[in-house]
Structure 1
């Protein structure tokens, strides 16, 4: 396993060691002691989530505030997504910047998104199964979000505007400028 820190401090690309042969493949998707050794972070995941989506579905940009903030370890089980992490830590040198990465069943990469970040993804394949671990339980009263097409963030989601499929809730999210962190 390799952990590569992105330009956003504390945000890591995780590349597993994959063992392949004629039968298929095997890899550890998470090993707490190796993760801590490679990243220097002690994370205790308490909740796993999974979603299935069709091409064009864009989920995000979501986050949890305050004591309910969540770190996430995200990966794709089937298909391909563009994954986005946005630094929302006001005291960070990279506040308001984002990191994007293609996650797929082929590359088996994962992204560790630390607390204090927003997160979203767009499905680029016909369908995708997305899985993620959280280090804190979801709390509805602490949820926040930023509209996907925010002009300040200016994220290229790799989808045409008419391909984007949003939930009603995500379509009504505020801009970065008006969001409450």
Structure 2
């Protein structure tokens, strides 16, 4: 398993080692110890989700209030998607930057997003199925969105006419979300992840 931090701080690409023979294959798609070694604390597992999308569907850009936020570990178990991480943390050196990773059922990569980052994806195939591990349970009052087609973000979605939900299509631009105080604050996100690291260190001692 190889872990590589992306250009957005707090986001990681994970590439598993696959073991195959004529019967099929086996891989470790999640290892809490390897991830904790990279990010500095274990991922608390509070909820698991499956998302199935038709080709051309774009979901996102979603994020949650910090604290506690919602860290996510995402992999594609069927088909393929372009998975996108967006830095929506006000005050971050990479505020407004996005990174994309292709997740599919061939390379079987995963993406980890720390608390405070925005997440979205575009389904490249029909029945594209994402599996999420989440650090907190879903709280609709703390969940927000930024419009995935915001020109300021200029995300290069690989479809000519993305299919959006009514909620995502009504989401504000990044600038509007910032002006209205919806976005996470970089310093608070850092303080929260530091508290997770401190708790881990205290537990070890």
- TM-score (norm. length: structure 2): 0.84
Q: What SS does structure 2 have at the residue aligned with 1:36?
A: helix
- Aligned-partner Cα distance in 1 for 2:134–2:140: 15
CA RMSD of aligned residues (A): 1.1
CA distance in 1, matches of 2:154, 2:73: 24
Return the structure number with greater helix share: 2
Matched residue, 1:175: 173
Partner of 1:93: 93
Runs of 4+ in 1 over 2 A off after TM superposition: 37-42
CA distance in 2, matches of 1:126, 1:79: 7
SS of the residue 2:91 aligns to: coil
Work out the CA distance in 2 between the residues paired with 1:171 and 1:140. 17
Other-structure match for 2:106: 106
1:43 is displaced (CA, Å) by 1.6
Map Cα deviations across residues 3-54 of structure 1 (whole Å, 9 max, x no partner).
Answer: 1011111210001111111111101111211221244332212111001111
Count of residues in Structure 1 that have an aligned counterpart in Structure 2: 179
Higher strand proportion, which one? 1
Query: Aligned-pair distance for 1:142?
Result: 0.8
Decide whether the 8 Å contact of 2:55 with 2:124 is kept in 1: yes
Counterpart residue number, 1:18: 18
Larger gyration radius, structure 1 or structure 2: 2
TM-score by length of 1: 0.95
